[in-house]
């Protein structure tokens, strides 16, 4: 097979985990994959203390750091619309979600942005990893959040609305990147206010 990132032919070596736990084969050569750095820093919730968002997120786990290799990956995947790259981290995501219990909820795109992007990058990552999920939220705000500070984002009226009944159970939010944490907290507050018992979050990247 050919590496999805560099196009070089490579041979995927089966592991015991893949054979007995039905884990997905790698779609990326080791040389490319080694360029991604594991996220080691913990998530600091200090800025949310004393705000309406205090305590709405129980935990956040980020797989990788935002280095140059990840920047190039996101550009190719999201902005050049190379949907095949959803498979790059499928195996790793599958492993992480197997350790968690709860209903998986992807962070949604605004419908207008989805039309421009042509696909929902978060959903496609979950599909590639064969992770079942439920669409429980809709994004209602169209303004860009990337240039806002954390305080500005938290002052914004909640970005999401629930579109289905939220049960008194555990939920796992999934997004591609965690930067200020405001997006995750906005989504978690909707779930908690509607009766969710616990809300954890998993992101591919810590920005």
Please count the residues of the chain: 207
The answer to whether the CB of 90 falls within 8 A of the CB of 119 is: no
pLDDT of residue 14: 56
Domain 37-206 has CATH 3.30.1120: no
pLDDT of residue 18: 46
Domain boundaries, the chain: 37-206
pLDDT of residue 12: 65
Q: Give the C-alpha separation, 174 to 204, whole Å.
A: 8
CA nearest to 82, candidates 10, 27, 1: 27
Cα separations in angstroms, 207 against 6, 63, 71, 77, 199: 24, 11, 10, 17, 21
Per-block mean pLDDT, blocks of 10 residues, the chain (207 long): 90 54 71 94 89 95 97 94 95 94 96 89 97 96 62 74 97 96 95 98 96
| Torsion over CA: 152, 156, 160, 165 (sign) | positive
The answer to whether the CB of 93 falls within 8 A of the CB of 61 is: no
Q: Give the C-alpha separation, 126 to 5, whole Å.
A: 19
Which pTM was predicted? 0.89
pLDDT of residue 53: 94
Q: Give the C-alpha separation, 173 to 107, whole Å.
A: 7
Strand order in the sheet with 59-65: 59-65, 198-206, 170-178, 103-106
> Which value, to the nearest 10 degrees, does the dihedral of the CA atoms of residues 112, 115, 118, 122 take?
30
pLDDT of residue 155: 67
pLDDT of residue 165: 96
pLDDT of residue 21: 42
Structure tokens, 111: 């419908």
pLDDT of residue 11: 77
């Amino acid at each position: 097979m050919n590496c999805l990132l560099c196009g070089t032919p490579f041979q995927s070596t089966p592991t015991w985990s893949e054979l007995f736990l039905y884990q997905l084969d790698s779609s990326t050569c080791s040389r490319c994959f080694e360029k991604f750095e594991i996220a080691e820093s913990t998530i600091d919730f200090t800025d949310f203390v004393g705000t309406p968002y205090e305590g709405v997120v129980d935990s956040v786990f980020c797989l990788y750091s935002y280095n140059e290799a990840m920047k190039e990956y996101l550009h190719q995947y999201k902005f050049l619309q190379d949907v095949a790259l959803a498979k790059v981290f499928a195996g790793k995501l599958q492993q992480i979600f197997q350790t968690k219990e709860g209903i998986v909820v992807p962070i949604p795109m605004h419908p207008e942005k989805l039309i421009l992007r042509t696909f929902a990058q978060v959903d496609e990552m979950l599909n590639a990893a064969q992770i079942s999920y439920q669409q429980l939220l809709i994004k209602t705000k169209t303004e860009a959040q990337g240039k806002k500070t954390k305080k500005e984002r938290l002052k914004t009226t909640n970005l999401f609305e629930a579109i289905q009944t939220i049960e008194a159970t555990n939920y796992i939010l999934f997004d591609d990147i965690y930067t200020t944490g405001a997006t995750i907290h906005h989504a978690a507050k909707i779930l908690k206010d509607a009766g969710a018992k616990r809300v954890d979050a998993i992101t591919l990247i810590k920005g």
